[in-house]
Amino acid sequence: MIEGILIGLKTALSFQNLLMVMIGCFAGTIIGMLPGLGPMTAIALMIPITYGFDPATGLILMAGVYYGAVFGGSTSSILINAPGVPGTVATSFDGYPMAQQGKAGKALAIAAYSSFAGGTIAAIFLLIAAPSLSKVSLSFRSPDYFGLMILGLTAVAAFSSKGNFLKAMMMCVFGLMLATVGQDTLSDIPRFTFNTMNLSDGISFVLVVMATFAMSEALTIVIKGNDPAKAAKQISMTELGSIKLNKEETKKMFKTIPRSSVLGFIIGVLPGAGATIASFLAYGMERNFVSNEEKEKFGKGSVQGLCAPETANNAACSGAFVPLLTLGIPGSGTTAVMLGALLGFGIQPGPRLYETNPEIFWSVIMSMYIGMVVLLILNLPLIPYIARILAVPRTFLIPMILFFSVTGIYLMSFNNFDIFLMIGIAVIATILRLYDFPMPPLILSFVLGGLMEENLRRSLLISDGSWSFLWNRPLTLSIMLIIIFIVSWQLFKSLKALKNA
Amino acid sequence: MKINSVKIISLLFFVLSAFYLYTAYQIQVFSFDEDSPFNAKTFPIYLGYTGMFFAGLKIVLPDPNPIEVSPKNLEFKKTILLVLTMCVYGATILKVGFFLSTSLFLVFAYYFLGERRWKYILVFSFPFVAIFMYLLHGLLAVYLRDPLLKYIGIMG
């Protein structure tokens, strides 16, 4: 492990990679800060740029963007009560009241220190857990992988859909359908190409991510008539107050950070759960841990109420890398985008990544620490200036996002067809968004589609066409039982809601 | 059963799944692969049925919390204009070239979204695209097709 850490440090501390972490954190903070635009949009916009880099550098840049975007999301939650990402909704419960009391600087500092601590502690857990889990997962076979992928999709559908399980499952199927367009990988037989050469290579992953996130988020802002800049004008960016914390506040944070980090990491590892659930659970858990007097302050500007969700959501971000790096199966929409980018680099994440590409495996983990430090020492003092981005009117913001999306696809294919296809998918995604159809399950299933088919093919061929592979091995059977439990639980919840209505 | 927009979308998804399933059955596989436990159409066929199953459930089951979006609150005109501008941009980017098509796209997009300060519109279109092109083409050596600038002699 020590050797791996040194390899990772050597790669992560090269001048180019350090620069990428800084640029990533900075760009991520700016994009994540804009309400409506989350880490997935930030990463999606970066993908065309990363294709010119070597895989380690590209992934380091995207990891930096990821952390920066989560940090940026808390800034808009605290300053204008408009969470940039769902994972920072709980941050606004106490962060915004603090800002209203003239303690915006302090709230931002608590968020930054908590993010740093949560991310760093979780990165240590990742350092220990990932190699061990990699070794265990080497014994996994095709049926187990197939089961794990279905479990990932079901869990994301169950947790990301806020009671709309059927909508999320429809999105999963839609993503898988899009993934089957193009030539079959084994036989080269064209499928769903409608005799068009433009579709024979399938639909590009970047195109789908750009269309369903960057473009459709921008179009949703336009069609709903939201203007984030209007809210930003209500606060004076220069009057954020001091960012220094007193002894009592620091002491409170010291108690909250360890428990929220552990909780956040565990939730992050679970497929589908992610930063949003981690932050809400940490908020609820912290409320039970504090004294009755402190409990009264929750929702009115409590230090612990702000510290807990911020710590947990960053710890969950690191935790989400565990299934991606060890099993090659992303547990969230954001890590699905990263998986797609890795596949674009020709790298298959999974248990063998640890042996075949140790520099990538370790440098990503090491760059997480560096990213945390960058966020703390670079972004925190610059927040009053970076926060001005919130005041950029949408009349300039939206065309810029659309321009970067179209240019990203244009630079990859130099093909009009891809641009039209992207616009078409973006329009459909915008309509679906208006009616609360979640997009992360679509992306996750689109990325996993090829791998799922491959593992199903192997499993069915080995078992001579029998579906008994689903219950022949104890591990596969356990995974299938969990899936049955999640589906039954979701259907039971839907029927109960109907009865109550 | 009460019909709402989500049910209409689900119905459309049901039709899409049915069409997908029909197309999946039409996939031509090699004759030696026809009776194989898994061939090029196996996975799509399962997908088609799964899509129809979930869409069917959504249509049949009543919706406890129906979402209704009032068209009055939506800015259709701006959105449609923006999408059309993007389509024109996509159609012209190869023929007219990156510089002019992108700059004009930005000008129209700013204008359609309500920006009227021409000083800013012009600064954040033509010069902005020129700097972007210089960074990409000049510094990062990323190829950018621009027949117009090539014709004028600015780009090689």
Q: Half-sphere exposure of A66 toward its Cβ, with a 13 Å CA cutoff?
A: 27
Structure letter (DSSP) for residue A11: H
Residue B141: Cβ within 10 Å count: 8
Say how many C-beta atoms besides its own lie within 10 A of residue A385's C-beta: 10
What are the tens digits of pLDDT across the range B33-53? 888 889 999 999 999 999 999
The answer to whether the Cβ–Cβ distance between B13 and A184 falls below 8 Å is no
pLDDT at B16: 97
Contact (Cβ atoms closer than 8 angstroms) between residue A50 and residue A27:
no
Q: A94: phi > 0 → left, psi -120 to 50 → alpha, else beta; which?
A: alpha
H helices of B34-125, in order, are 42-60, 76-92, 98-112, 118-123
In terms of C-beta density within 10 A (0-12 exposed, 13-18 middle, 19 or more buried), how is residue B128 classed? middle
CB A32 within 8 A of CB A38: yes
Cα–Cα distance for residue pair A53/A380, rounded to 1 Å: 28
User: Which among A142, A177, A448 is the top mutation candidate for probing chain B, defined by the most B β-carbons within 10 Å of its own β-carbon?
Assistant: A177
- Token pair 């999974």 in the structure block, residue: A350
At A94-119, the pLDDT tens digits run: 888 888 888 888 888 898 889 889 98
Q: Which residues in B lie closer than 8 A to residue A219 (C-beta atoms)? A: 79, 82-83
Kind and range of the H or E run holding A183: strand A182-183
User: Could you tell me if A439 and A425 are in contact, meaning their C-beta atoms sit under 8 angstroms apart?
Assistant: no
Contact A314, A114 (CB under 8 A): yes
Amino acid at A489: W
Q: Beta A190-191 vs A182-183: how paired, if at all?
A: antiparallel
- Residues of chain B in contact with residue A434, where contact means CB-CB under 8 angstroms, are 69, 74
Name the token pair of A379: 């972004």
Per-residue confidence band for A261, with pLDDT thresholds at 50, 70 and 90 = very high
CB contact (8 A) between residue B20 and residue A177? yes
Q: Report the interhelical angle of A55-80 vs A358-374 (nearest 10°).
A: 30
- Residue in B47, B80, B108, B111 to test binding to A, most A beta-carbons within 10 Å: B47
Most confident of A141-150, A153-162, A264-273, B135-144: A141-150
Residues of chain A contacting B89 with CB distance shorter than 8 Å? 406, 419
How far apart are the CA of A296 and the nearest CA of chain B, in angstroms?
32
Q: Domain extents for chain A?
A: 2-230+245-500
| Greater pLDDT, B12 or B149 | B12
Structure tokens at B108: 């129209």
For B61, the closest of A52, A191, A498 (CB atoms) is A498
Structure tokens given for A448: 């996993």
Residue with tokens 């994440």: A349
Q: Where do the structural domains in chain B lie, given as residue ranges?
A: 5-68, 73-152
Which is nearest to B150 in space by CA: B103, B96, B89?
A: B96
Q: Which two tokens stand for residue A381?
A: 């003092």
Q: What are phi and psi of A191, to 5 degrees?
A: -130, 130
Q: Pick the more confident residue, A75 or B121.
A: B121
Tell me: pLDDT of A312 over 60.
yes
Kindly report the pTM of this predicted structure. 0.82
Question: Please, what is the average pLDDT of chain B?
Answer: 88
pLDDT mean across residues, chain A: 83
Q: Which residues of B touch A191 (CB under 8 A)?
A: 24, 27, 40-41, 44
Please answer whether residues A331 and A272 qualify as being in contact, where contact means their C-beta atoms are separated by less than 8 angstroms.
yes
pLDDT exceeds cutoff 90 at A285: no
Distance CA A299, CA A305 (A): 7
Token output for A492: 């039971």
Cα–Cα dist A261/A120, whole Å: 9
Which residues have a Cβ under 8 Å from the Cβ of A387 and sit 6 or more positions away?
A33, A75, A79, A232, A237, A240
Contact between A89 and A279 (Cβ < 8 Å): yes
Kindly indicate the confidence band of residue B71, based on its pLDDT and cuts at 50, 70 and 90: confident
Number of Cβ pairs closer than 8 Å across A and B? 168
Residue B135: exposure state from Cβ atoms within 10 A (0-12, 13-18, ≥19): exposed
Residue A79: per-residue pLDDT: 80
Sequence-ordered alpha helix ranges (H) in A345-473: 353-356, 358-374, 380-386, 394-413, 416-434, 440-462, 469-472
Residue recorded with tokens 């999306």? A405
Query: Each residue of A158-197: pLDDT tens digit?
Result: 876 666 888 999 999 999 999 999 998 888 899 999 988 8
Asked whether residue A484 carries a pLDDT value surpassing 80, the answer given is yes
* Contact flag B57-A166 (C-beta cutoff 8 Å): yes
The pLDDT of residue A162: 63
Contact B43 A453 (CB under 8 A): yes
Distance CA B42, CA A25 (A): 44
Q: Can you tell me the ipTM of this complex?
A: 0.93
Reported confidence tier of residue A429, pLDDT bands at 50, 70, 90: very high
What average pLDDT score do residues A279-304 get? Answer: 85
Residue from the list B29, B40, B69 with its beta carbon closest to the beta carbon of A434 = B69
Question: Which residue in B79, B65, B18 sits closest to A167, CA to CA?
Answer: B65
Dist CA A370 CA A15 (whole Å):
13
A255 confidence band (pLDDT: 50, 70, 90) = confident
| Minimal C-alpha gap between B108 and chain A (Å) | 9
Whether B140 shows a pLDDT value over 70: the answer reads no
Query: What is the rounded CA–CA span in Å between residue A16 and residue A9?
Result: 13
